Amino acid sequence: MLYTPENWGSVPESWTRTHLLGLEDLSSEEIVLLLDLAERFRNNVLESPENKRKIPLLVGKTIANLFFENSTRTRTSFGLAGRRLGADVVDFSAGTSSMAKGETVVDTARNLHAMGVDAFVVRHSCPGAPQMIAQSFDNIAVVNAGDGAHEHPTQGLLDLLTMRRQFGRIEGLTVALVGDIAHSRVARSNIFALLKLGAKPIVCGPSTLVSPYWEDLGVRVSYSIDEILPEVDVFNLLRIQFERQVVRPFPSIREYAHLYAMDSDRLARCKNDVLILAPGPINRGVEITPEVADGSRSHILDQVTNGVAVRMAALWSTITAAERKARK
């Protein structure tokens, strides 16, 4: 079936959020709604030759990618998502902009809005930067593409979508987030959503990177990956973020890999249907060995594909909500 805006349908009226700033504030129903929209985009657009990988739901809209941090997957994924929906996409580079002359983030956004931009996708090293931009506009969509160590909501959603497509559910799954929990916005978004949807998250890594205070939120804490191998359904292997660390939290990369890397020996002690995820970029030989990253239990590239579908859902829902709000 060839889909058009007329026969595709509309964003459910229950979705009223003009911004997607984090998963902590979303209800379980809102998270499931976004996952359902993303599933539909994945099945009926991205995997459909008939639709030529496009559906013109946002024709006439302009999306600006405001990336103040380096990015490959997220920036490209949002760009593709916007274009798959028929929107015009503007890629902003902080290094070659007037910000180098002292212009603020908000003034930059205001100037772009004056040119007719309908939505901002914001990545920034400062937690709260997307929220600051969102508070400056009444009827414009803002999507957080990662703000410091705070949240990365679309990465959390694409991880959830990958789990749900594999197991058919989220509720009841035991999901281990292994690595640099202290600096990981991906871990935070995953944990907030997993708890809301009835999963059992575990954070695992060196004590210098895994705070015991996660237990106060109902998250299990483990300092040994070997102890949890037989019970985990999903391992999400997080990169060690040296760029965010003031001091090195362990003696050497070699020691970290010895204690926490997912290798073939550890994989053999996991469940037969264990799902291996990693948000990327992956460091082969550090958090994961090449034979596991490229093996049959790895769904890392599937995550990337799901990321386009999730970002299509995020852009369509928030821009539609902003448009509805402006009409009132």
Q: What is the DSSP string of 225-280?
A: HHHHGGG-SEEEEPPP-GGG-SS-SSS-HHHHHHHH-B-HHHHHTS-TT-EEE--S
- The C-alpha angle with vertex 174 and arms to 171 and 178, in degrees rounded to 5, equals 135
Residues taking part in catalysis? 73-74, 101, 123, 152
Task: Write out the chain's pLDDT in tens, 328 residues.
Answer: 788 899 999 999 999 999 999 999 999 999 999 999 999 999 999 998 877 789 999 999 999 999 988 888 999 999 999 999 999 999 987 655 555 556 789 999 999 999 999 999 999 999 999 999 999 988 899 999 999 989 999 999 999 999 999 999 999 999 999 999 998 999 999 999 999 999 999 999 999 999 999 999 999 999 999 999 999 999 999 988 645 444 565 558 889 899 999 999 999 999 999 999 999 888 899 999 999 999 999 999 999 999 999 999 999 999 999 999 998 7
pLDDT recorded at residue 52: 78
pLDDT recorded at residue 61: 97
Point out which residues pair with 151 in neighbouring strands.
147
pLDDT recorded at residue 240: 83
Spatial separation of the C-alpha atoms in residues 212 and 105, rounded to whole Å: 35
Look-up of token digits 């979705």: 15
pLDDT recorded at residue 246: 46
pLDDT recorded at residue 252: 80
pLDDT recorded at residue 101: 54
pLDDT recorded at residue 42: 96
- Looking at residue 151, the DSSP 8-state letter turns out to be B
Q: If we measure between CA atoms, which residue out of 216, 227, 240, 217 comes closest to residue 176?
A: 227
Give the phi and the psi of residue 123 in degrees, each rounded to 5. Answer: -120, 130
The span from the first CA to the last CA of the chain, in angstroms, equals: 34
Spatial separation of the C-alpha atoms in residues 202 and 295, rounded to whole Å: 23
